[in-house]
Structure 1
């Protein structure tokens, strides 16, 4: 069966490679506390912009939130005179809280995620016993992307690709010659994302990554995290399809699906849960909003005992 969405994404990348004006201007903001990169992607001609995978500061010991990471993004958008069209999430993160509501309040834009967020909401709604008041229909977001859905940022062409495996709802966003791939893969020397969260699947992850690696070799790949592989001194979050295909330690050309699944499954069994998974998931499935305050006006994060 022809992958029409991938063909469309390939056409967008090639057109941007041939015409510089079709390439986005990209700024990355690295949060070392969560090893997360937030991107501001904008069209130089119209100053229209998207924010991808924002970070809300959260101190686990005190339960206090902060906006230092988000303010860096806000300052950049203001300094450059950008108008935010989109506030996008590649998935419901398990390692940091989203600052989307704060940035929307300050800058506007439509909050978007993949349509399969409803599956993640259903799974984690049950795990956290969220109750009937918690809607599991994606209504906390302004837009739910489908696979192959086109969008624009000013005059820049974009397309959303569904790339499940890490979670059921992961999306990659192709904008011009750039691909924002979320938690599918990391820098070539670090490998790929885990696939053992509820709803994750190592086999799906392999297929999603190989799908992305069919994009033109010159496609710029922007990663959501970097954990600085042993032997590397600096954090990095930009690669290319060519580099990933040649050098990714988990999924380079020649690694079979069965080999990857065996490796990923064995490796995931040794990994601890992310430090911020409890607050992150409960907030992020709500579009970055805290759980509804209780009768004393305070929001609470639940910790299911012996469940995850």
Structure 2
């Protein structure tokens, strides 16, 4: 029998992100998935409001953190994985293809000494690896397409898919970031939709189409029947054509150049310089020809 973890989502409205605490109700062991480190790009301010709220929830529930998991190096928010590791002592983990993302962005940032071996994390998961949260078995499915390194965590009857599928009324994630591929995204989604129909699907973002309240839980059956992309584009060729056409109109996320230098380093902020301050490095004109944001 597949066990059912307790899943609590925490919606972060600045970046429309959903962070998760996934717990085994019997053992009170839990994992934190895709935590957000608050960042205000206008003032350059960093805060731990979101992460501290998660820690408060875990304390109130009497949970013990076994894992801090990222599904991929995020392009629209900073990861709070390192901060939460310092607070809980739990290991941080990500898919092993993060090394390919590190190599790519090392060149973009002109970081000759940056290590691209994934050593910033305690665990790099391979496709098919298994682990546990308390007595609930979990496994790792590689889900490239949105990024080179994206993974899905299947924990009991729940799958955490982040930027592959959104809620059915929002479709699928873009695939035009460096290293992205609409063809790979199609294949990854097919694997997710091959899970049992009653598998709970938890997304990493919700952009609240039509101004509705934030939502982040569906099922495989609901996605197959109602996803506005997957229920319409029934072949790889049709999906890839639609996805690439849509992506060509999209501006880059406003924080991608900020976030990737943090998130390829497991959520670590840049080291302080000789005046004690930390600085971000923004390459100019990296995305030649991309649509401009408003």
Q: State the partner residue of 1:161.
A: 141
> Where does structure 1 lack aligned partners over 5 or more consecutive residues?
1-14, 17-21
Structure 1 position 175 matched with structure 2 position 155: yes
Alignment of 1:150-299 (within 5 A): 150-230=130-210, 233-252=212-231, 255-299=234-278
Instruction: For residue 78 of structure 2, give the secondary structure of its aligned residue in structure 1.
Output: coil
| Runs of 4+ in structure 1 over 4 Å off | none
Q: State the partner residue of 2:35.
A: 54
Contact 1:177 1:220 in 2 (8 A): yes
Instruction: For residue 173 of structure 1, give the secondary structure of its aligned residue in structure 2.
Output: strand
Q: CA RMSD in A?
A: 1.0
Q: Quote the Cα distance in structure 2 between the aligned partners of 1:207 and 1:115.
A: 19
**Shift of the alpha carbon at 1:253?**
6.8
TM-superposition CA deviations, 1:98-154 (whole Å, max 9, x none): 11111111122110000000000000111011221x110000000000111010001
Of 50, 64, 83, the residue aligned with 1:102 is 83
Q: Quote the Cα distance in structure 2 between the aligned partners of 1:281 and 1:182.
A: 17
Instruction: For residue 289 of structure 1, give the secondary structure of its aligned residue in structure 2.
Output: coil
Q: Quote the Cα distance in structure 1 between the aligned partners of 2:110 and 2:275.
A: 20
Q: Quote the Cα distance in structure 1 between the aligned partners of 2:231 and 2:151.
A: 21
> Where does structure 2 lack aligned partners over 5 or more consecutive residues?
288-294
Instruction: For residue 36 of structure 2, give the secondary structure of its aligned residue in structure 1.
Output: coil
Instruction: For residue 58 of structure 2, give the secondary structure of its aligned residue in structure 1.
Output: helix
Contact 1:92 1:284 in 2 (8 A): yes
Instruction: For residue 181 of structure 1, give the secondary structure of its aligned residue in structure 2.
Output: strand
Equivalent pairs counted in the alignment come to 287
TM-score (norm 1): 0.91
**Shift of the alpha carbon at 1:265?**
0.6
Contact 1:246 1:253 in 2 (8 A): no
Q: Which moved more, 1:245-254 or 1:213-222?
A: 245-254
Instruction: For residue 291 of structure 1, give the secondary structure of its aligned residue in structure 2.
Output: coil
TM-score (norm 2): 0.96
Q: Quote the Cα distance in structure 1 between the aligned partners of 2:145 and 2:91.
A: 25
**Shift of the alpha carbon at 1:225?**
0.3
